[in-house]
Each structure stands twice: as C-alpha cells, then as structure tokens.
Structure 1
Amino acid sequence: MHPQAIALIHNGHALNYQVLYARIQGAAQQLKLAGLSPNDRLASISHNCIEAIILYWACIEAEAIFCPMSPKFPSQQLNDLCQQFSIDHYWAPSHLPNLQGKRISIDFEQTADNEPRVINPQHAVNFVLTSGSNGSPKAAVHSLKNHIASAEGATSQIPLHSQHRWLLSLPLFHIGGLAILNRCAIATAAVVLQDESNTLNVQLPRDQVSHVSLVEAQLQQLLTTPESLQSVQYLLLGGGAISPTSIHALKGFSLHAFCSYGMTEMASQITTSVANADGLSGQLLPGRQLRIQQGHIQVAGDCLCLGYVNPANKDRPWQLPLTVDGWFDTKDIGVWKNGHLQVVGRADNMFVCGGENIHPEEIEQALKQLPHIADAIVFAEPDERFGHLPAAIIKIYPEQAALSKHELEAYLLQHIARFKRPRNYYPWPRGIQAIGLKITRAQVINNTDRRQTLKFAES
C-alpha cells in the first residue's frame, strides 16, 4: 500500500517497504529451498540487525515459526533450548559458533517478486522465551492476530503513522522488540536500528527518532543533554514507577511520556497511561480484558498468546493454563485506583516477615522516589526471630552522589509501614544488564556481595 515509505533506517541509510519486501520474499524462498516446511521452527540467534528483521517476516511468508534467542546464551544452553522446544534449524551471524541442528545460510541481498501469500492470522508465527517463577524458560507462541490486536491497541494511546520513526532499542528476543516491528509495519512507520557506535544522545537527533522505549536510567542520561530529545515526540517508559524528578524534568519538553504494564503472554502492552510517579500503569487498552480475582491480575482477549510450547504433546503442541472460565492468571498482584491499574507486585516475590506479607515491589517503588536512587531491588534475608527481613540492593546515579541513611529511612517511614523498611542495604553489582526493559531480579540478587554493605554519607 505504501511501497515508497521508509521501512528501516540503519546508520543513516534508509530502506523502503518495496525493497524490504522483495528481500523478505527472497529470504522466504531460500528458507523453503533449505528444507523448512510449514510449522517448522527456526531459531534466530543474534542481536538486532537488518538480517534478523528480514528473517522474522520471511518466516511468516514461508509459514515457518520464528524463534528468537539471545546470542549471549552459552552454546550448551542454546542447544538445550533447541532440543527442549523441538527446533531443528537455526540461523546465526557467521561469527557465532556452530550448534547442533541444521545451520541455515541466507543471502539477504537476494530478492524475489512472487505473488503475496494469503496469511491465516490465527496460525502460529513466532514464540518468545519467558521465564516462569522457578526460572525455567517457557516459550509463548503468538499468532499475527495477537500481534495485530496488540499493535492496534497500543497505537490508540500512542499515535503512530508513516512519517514516524521508532528506535528498536529492545531486542527481538524480547516481546517489546517484536512489538515495535509489528506496530511500525501496520502503520508503515520506520524502524530505526540502534547504532552501537554512538550514544542515544547522538543517534536520536541524527536519525530524527520520534518514538523511543526507555528505562528511567536511560532517560536520566538523556536529560543531561536536552537537545538529544528535540525530535522525540513519544516516550514509552518501562521498569516501574517514574521518579518525581524525571516527571518534573519532562514537563520542560514538548513530548508525551507514557508508562505501561505488559507481558510476553499478552504480546506486550496491556495498560498504558501518561507517565506518573504514583506507580499507576494506566487504563486498559483495546483488545485486552483484565480483572482482579483475590488480588491476582487475570487477563484475556485478542492479545493473549496461543499457549506455551508443549513438546510432550504432538496433538496439542502449545497449551496455556487458564482458569475454568478462560482467564490467564498473571501471578501479578494489582488493584484499581480511579480506573487505573496499580501493580503491587509478584505473588511469587512475596515473603512473610513476622506474620506480615511483604511485597518487595512496594518498597522498591518507595525507594525509587528518592533522588539519586536509579534502581532498587528488595529481597528477603533469613532471620531467626521474624523468619525473614527485607533487604535492599541500591543503584545510585550518579555513582558519586551522596546518600544519607537517616534521610532515606525518614522518607520511607512516611510512605511504608515501619516493619517493611529494609534492615540491610547493599550496592548494586556491576555488569548487570537489562533484558529489554527489565532487570533480571534473580541475577541482581545472586551477584550481590552481601559481605559489603552500602556506604552512606554522614548525616
């Protein structure tokens, strides 16, 4: 419909939809020649790149199932995942080592001009790995119907059209990355690949990025150079509540900032609102249903995935555990406040302290309202008297900022019950990276040296 509209931008070079689709068809043709049959699963093991984007759409053209995985996983883990989820073929950039199974080679410059295939929107097109409460990966299977409903609902709050450009700052092995591809394709907007040789401060104005998904720590860095946000019209902020400092700073810009609540199983966003410091994730988007049963957030609707890959049952290759009346229990705890959802925490993160239920996320949200606390994770430490006591891992930004324990605890006691305050504070471990918009809680806790407590400034 819009062949000349810009589809991809990489290092300042643009590719239109007509050229992109010709390459997609060329890649799809090669997948079939390589032996992929309909419903075969192809692992794509790479960071974001033009090739991975072409491969995503080529799998849909070839009726194969696109299975993105992180190249940071060790080879043995990748082999185990491919075996667990019955994946016999994989594609990876040439510099990555060989794995078990058949490695597919594709000339991504090759084009084809075949008659477009009619695609059944109900059929599975990809799966995305997600971790359960015990840390073992699950693979959530999506159809185009799921992705279309997700994209259309999201753009009801965050406008997107053919003149817009969305930075692909999230990996394609994260549902947030795939969601950007789908939103832009439906709107014929451009996907801008992140330039690893430059900072966001440089790339955003250079490539005239209009939409960007960030965590607050990235936003805080951008706010130090306000000119870097001159082209940005819409910010989608993830990672929890936004600090009052950032909310106030954003008022000086002519852009719209949003926060949201979403999950892999629902193909990305579920609720969205104007960014706020109250921890409210917003109103329910179209194409989704949400209810709260005994404190648990349950969801349904056109965005809900087909199920988790179920290798043990060939007759039902994917299944999703649902309530007797057809709802998916997210295991998140939430409440409604004036028509907006507030996510209190995860049911499986909750612990008991002296007979009282503690939701770590409530304490984390309070901590992150303080200046210079960029992130916080609260966890349970064993205690002979109370069973468990809360402790906190704190990320300070900038690193040289002084933090007073007296002021911190005085603030906390105004916002949470006294028994919920952390008894120990630890510095944030180095080298921990966000996966998409999320920090892996277990990774931060497991990599924290508890022999070294946080050094506070003298009050």
Structure 2
Amino acid sequence: MTDSHADKMVSPLEISPMRISPLHSAALTFPEQTAVKCNGQDISYASLSQMVLGLGEQLTRIGIRQGQPLACISRNNLEMICLYWACIDIGAIFFPISPRFPLAQVQGLIDSHQIPCYWSETELGLTGCTQLSLDVAQISTTPAKTVDIQRPCNVILTSGSSGFPKAAVHNLANHIANAEGARSLIPLIKGDAWLLSLPLFHIGGLAILNRCALVAAIVVLPESNLALQEQVERDALTHISLVPTQLLNLLADKQASLTSIKALLLGGGAVSIDLLKQLEQRHIASFTSYGMTEMGSQITTGPALSDGTSGKLLPRRELKIVDDVIWVRGECLFMGYLTENGIEKPLDADSWFYTKDKGEWDANGNLKILGRVDNMFICGGENIQPEEIEAALKLHPLIDEAIVFPQPDITYGQLPAAIIRGNIIRGNTSQDMSTIEKQLEQFLADKIARFKRPRRYYPWPENAEQIGLKVNRQLIIKLAI
C-alpha cells in the first residue's frame, strides 16, 4: 500500500561542494543591491558581506572552531542574520534558541549539547557557557573563502510539544536545494522584499534568509512600531509568510494598499472560506504548503484552498505514502539529529524519513494532510483524527481556526472537544457557549459523522501567541482549558 511521488533532477550540489556562500556570491554580483532593511536603514549586499566577514574574524579570535555549536538566544535582528552567515563562513554550527524558553530549559539545552559559548542581547547568567560580546559594525575587506556546503551549518530545534526538543542538523546544501525547489512555484527575483516575520529559531525563518541570498532579494526585519499594513506599503513588501492572526490584522484595514504583494505563504491545512474570499477581493496570490524542519521547510506547495490540500511536490524532494503515512527523502533532507553521540540519522535502509503525518493524494495530484499519527484518539471504539474535524469546522464562514482534542468520558473513554477562533465566538464567554454548540452541531450534521462532532467548545485563548506557521496544539489546549 504505497503511493509514491518523486521529483528528481541532476544536482549541481553534487558537482561543486566547495563554493563561497550565497551571501558573498550575491555581494560580488550585485554589491549595491539592498540585502537587509532594518529599522529604516538599507544595508547593501556588499556592506552585509563585509559585516559578516568581520564577525567571522571576531568569532575565530575568540576561539570558535569548525564543528562547534554557537547558541544564539534572541529575537530576529541584524546580529542574528550576521551570525548565521558568519557561522557558515568559519564552519561553526549556528544554534538558535527561542528567548521565550524558560531559563532552565535553555540551560538544559546548553548542558546536553555541550555548547561552550552563546550570544544574546541580554545577560542571561547561564553556567558553564561563556556569553559573547560581538560587534557587527567591525567590517572586513578580506575576500570571502569557499566553504564546504555539505558540512553541518545549523541546528533547528523541533517544536518539542512534549518532552525535550530534538536538534535537527542541516547543511547549506540542504537549504539551497529547498530554496531552489520552492522558487519553482513561488517566483523570487533580485530586488523582491520578503518580510522576516518568522523567527530564525524556526525553519521557516531560516529558509527566508537562504531564499533571499540565492537571488539577491531583500530580507525585511519587522518593526514593532509599525502596523503590518504600514510596513507593507513603506517597504514595498512582495513576499510574506503569515499565520492566520497576522493575516486577519493585515486584511482588516480595507484602505491599506497591498498591491506590492506577489505571494502570501500560509501554514498548511485548510484556509477558512472567509479568508479566501478576502484574499480574492484584494487580488493577493496566496499559497499553503506542507513542510517540516527535517526537510528544510517546504515539501509541497500550492494555491490556498478551503479543501485543506497543500499543493504538489516541489523539485528535489521525494514523497511516498505507506499505509496512509507520509515518508520523505531527497536533497532537502536534514543530516540527522544532534545527540551526545554525534549526528544520528533516523532513516530506514533506503534513506526514507518517517514523518508521522498521515496523508493522501487527491485526484489532482495535490497532497492532503489527514493528521498526525500521534494526534489520533479513540471514542467509543472509533478512531478520531482531530484534523478532519478541524477542516470541517473551518468551512464555517465565521471560524478562522480550530483545534480538536480528546476529553475523558466515563462512557466512551474519550470525546472530541474543540477550541475555535473567529467572529462566531466574539461576545461570547466560556459560560454561555450553548448557543454556539447548537449552531455548530447543525452545521456539521452533513459534513462529519455524529461520533466525530465536538461535544464541547472553548474560545481561543487570548494570550496565545503563534510563533511559526504551525499552531502549537499542546500550548493552545493547555491555555484554553
């Protein structure tokens, strides 16, 4: 029971593993082209290249060696961008950690991965690890050296929704293959401007840096004192990666000019009908994708649809479905997980990676994600896949987002409950949800079986902040109940 799709091509990566990084290559070809927009300042590729080379020299003097992890605990900023490229130059491993992690968790990561040095905007007081003081204003005019694009260059921590997060290791060749495949569907050219709205400790944020450098496009850092609509207009943004809340805020201002936007990339899964209508009215090309940290970001991509499909397989990836579960491999596939015994590859004998995502191909060759193997639960002897119910709920014009989860029940073992966000719930509280429950019971009657319909609904927690393109299910459930 295997359904396999593959998109292969001869890879230049196999021919030339030694080259200067995409950043320095862009600086040589288009030195005056803007590389980064930061706090109203335009930094050219030539200037950014010199800053990165200067930072690399500082790291070398401090004693950061090839293969050594360097923790970076910060929000997105110019220093983080420079540190990523400087680590590639000197062969160190860029190891970004969310500044939202509790200090004890950060210390645990430092200890378990034996990280000797870290950089942060603030003093954290970590033990057994030296905090670095770096200056991106120190430039170097030394010519860039070639790097081995197949050596480890970064770690991205998996979501870690339960237990200790895994540390996925990529090389630059993985990122180049992912970016070139992604560009085959969503064009990106010199001078385009992509908002760095996703954090660099998520694969989606790091993917933006690589995509832009490969074509000399502009990375635009968000400004907290500007509304998103204002930044779109001021910086003529062409590409944006957004979560539903950000998109809703962007579309709320009917007077805002969004004509510069060429492509809007959303997280995977079904997009609400209301959002799709608004995007069509504003003539904004929107896309959804199926991706993961281990594959360097996007795997499939296609136009945003309400049916929950995530598009077609991009070049340089392979995907097969065995007994409804997705396996992937290809040039984008990571090097493995960083452990105390080195980099360990969790692959089968033929180099396939087991994703734990359930999926199927539709009649048009688009991938539809059916849910996570580890999200499924049993209600009265019947298997419940929460993502199927969530997609049905998002067909309602007043629901933007939904999460379905099990709640204990004496009779059935577990019953489905749902957390919903959208206009349907505005003005209601958790104490007077009975009207909404009746409305949605009727709405779902012809869409899903009775045993799958949620028995209880909760409003989306107001203090839930979404960081990456994927919703942190466990956090939302914890905050809601």
Q: How does 1:27-426 map to 2 (within 5 A)?
A: 27-93=55-121, 95-100=122-127, 101-131=129-159, 134-226=162-254, 227-311=256-340, 313=341, 317-338=342-363, 339-397=365-423, 400=426, 404-426=436-458
Tell me how far 1:365 sits from its aligned partner.
Answer: 1.2
What is the aligned partner in structure 2 of residue 453 from structure 1?
none
1:427 aligned onto 2:459: yes
Aligned residue-pair number: 444
TM-score w.r.t. structure 2 length? Answer: 0.90
Q: Which runs of 4+ in 1 moved over 4 A?
A: none
CA contact (8 A) 1:41 1:66 kept: yes
RMSD (Å) for aligned C-alpha atoms: 1.5
CA contact (8 A) 1:214 1:235 kept: yes
Q: 1:405 to 1:419 in 2, by over 3 A?
A: same
Which 5+ residue runs of structure 2 have no aligned equivalent?
1-28, 429-434
1:439 aligned onto 2:471: yes
Distance in 1 (alpha carbons) for counterparts of 2:124 and 2:47: 31
Deviations 1:313-364 (A, max 9, x none): 2xxx111211232210000000110211000000000001111110111111
Tell me how far 1:229 sits from its aligned partner.
Answer: 1.6
Give 2:422's aligned amino acid: I
What is the aligned partner in structure 1 of residue 17 from structure 2?
none
Give 2:217's aligned amino acid: A
Which shifted more, 404-413 or 7-16?
Answer: 404-413
Which shifted more, 429-438 or 281-290?
Answer: 429-438
SS for the counterpart of 1:194 is: coil
Distance in 1 (alpha carbons) for counterparts of 2:462 and 2:251: 23
Tell me how far 1:97 sits from its aligned partner.
Answer: 2.2
Which shifted more, 172-181 or 385-394?
Answer: 385-394
Deviations 1:102-138 (A, max 9, x none): 1111111000122211111110000000035743200
Tell me how far 1:9 sits from its aligned partner.
Answer: 0.3
SS for the counterpart of 2:375 is: coil
Which 5+ residue runs of structure 1 have no aligned equivalent?
450-459
Deviations 1:50-83 (A, max 9, x none): 0110011011111100000111112221111111
Q: Report percent identity of matched pairs.
A: 49
CA contact (8 A) 2:268 2:290 kept: no
Q: 1:273 to 1:401 in 2, by over 3 A?
A: farther
Give 2:476's aligned amino acid: V
Distance in 2 (alpha carbons) for counterparts of 1:341 and 1:401: 37
Higher relative contact order (CA 8 A, sep 6+): 2
CA contact (8 A) 2:178 2:316 kept: yes
SS for the counterpart of 1:348 is: helix
Equivalent position to 2:39, from 8, 11, 14: 11
Give 1:156's aligned amino acid: S
